[in-house]
Every structure is written in C-alpha cells, then in structure tokens.
Amino acid sequence: MVMLVVGWFICVAYVMRYARMVREDATKSVVYDKYEENKAHFLGDKEEGQLEFTGTRKLILGIFAASFGVMIYGVAVVGWWMAEISAMFLAASIIVGLVARMSEEDFTTSFIDGARDLLGVALIIGIARGIVVVMDNGMITDTILFNAEQMITGLSSVVFINVMFFIEVLLSFLVPSTSGLAVLTMPIMRL
C-alpha cells in the first residue's frame, strides 16, 4: 500500500510539472505537432475562447447528467441492457438537440460526427463478441480449459504460477474482455 501511495504521488507530481511546463510554453508538449489538427477536429469553425454558461447550456448539462442517472437506475433496478441503454441515450440526444434549438442539419451532422468517432470501438467490440460466441458454440473454450487444466495439474506452486501466466497471456488474445478472461480461467486457478 505504501508503494501505491508513493507511486501515485510521483505520478501526480510528474503530470503537474508537465502541465505547468506546457501551460507556460505549448511548444514543449509532446503532441504540439498535432495542435492544429486537433483544434480543427474538436473546434471546427468555432472560435477558441470562453463560452458563456447560459441557462440553455445549464439545462443541457442537466439533461446529460440526468441521462446517466436514468441509465444507472435502469441497469441496477429495471434490468436494462444494451438495447435499452442505447434507446435512452438516443432519446436524450434528441432532447438535447431540441433544447439547444439545433437545426435538423446541424443535429444530424453532429450526431453522425459523434457516431463516427465511436464506430471503430463498436466494430472491435462486435468482432470480439463474435469470436467469443464462435468459441463457445464450437466448444473451443471448453477444450482449451480442459487441456490447460490437464497441463498444470500436479505442478509445484512456483511452476504453476509461471505456466498460468503464459496461459493467461495466450487466452487474452482469444478473449479480449478482462472480466470474461477472469471468469474463464477461475476454474483453472482453483487447482
């Protein structure tokens, strides 16, 4: 625990020192060469500077925060999952668009730009889930677990932990979810 606290303080001190250095001279940033590209991507044609915190913006932030509260309630109490959560966020985005008095074109452009940023992540999750489904339905997962268990049965604790490390590394290529990997390998760990 002491090492965790010491490491945390070292990391915080380093990040704060770096932030102070970049604030004083932006050219010292490790990503300074991407500054114009990032500015164009995130700000677009809008001017840089402070935005006024109007009543409309406060209401939009309130809707945004409330949508997370509704999501937490829906998942914890009602039993929502991906379809319900997606529908709730879609409805919240439409409400935000109406409150912000965005034109139809501005709203759809903003919505598509936001979806574009998430498309790569969605594809990775979909492919990873597809691999897991194929492995489960083809009983590949059971075969891997059985053979892994046979391989490490009766080993000394020193050899066991090293072999288990390599099994975890190999399985992490097939099961991208860390929680899924933990559930998958817990039967082996009980040995």
pLDDT of residue 49: 65
pLDDT tens digits for range 16-75: 999 999 999 988 888 888 888 887 777 776 666 677 888 899 999 999 999 999 999 999
**Pairwise CA distance, residues 177 & 154, whole Å:** 29
Question: In the numeric block, which tokens belong to residue 190?
Answer: 């009980």
Residue 157 has pLDDT above 90, yes or no: no
Per-residue model confidence (pLDDT) at position 38: 81
Sorted by where each begins, the domain ranges of the chain are 127-191
pLDDT at 75: 93
Taking alpha carbons only, the member of 67, 49, 47, 70 closest to residue 59 is 67
Higher-confidence residue of 123 and 46: namely 123
Residue-wise pLDDT for 166-189, tens only, equals 888 888 887 777 777 777 777 777
Residue 114 sits at the vertex; the CA angle it makes with 113 and 116, to the nearest 5 degrees, is 65
Neighbours of 148 (CB within 10 A): 21
Confidence label for 15 from pLDDT (cuts 50, 70 and 90):
very high
pLDDT tens string 98-120: 999 999 999 999 889 888 888 88
DSSP of the chain: -HHHHHHHHHHHHHHHHHHHHHHH-GGGSTTGGGHHHHHHHHHTTSPPSPPP--HHHHHHHHHHHHHHHHHHHIIIII---HHHHHHHHHHHHHHHHHHTT--HHHHHHHHHHHHHHHHHHHHHHHHHHHHHHHHHHTTHHHHHHHHHHHHHTT--HHHHHHHHHHHHHHHHHH---HHHHHHHHHHHHT-
pLDDT value at position 19?
A: 94
One-letter amino acid for residue 149 of the chain: E
149 pLDDT band, cuts 50/70/90, is: confident
CA–CA gap between residue 61 and residue 43 (Å, rounded)? 19
pLDDT of residue 97: 92
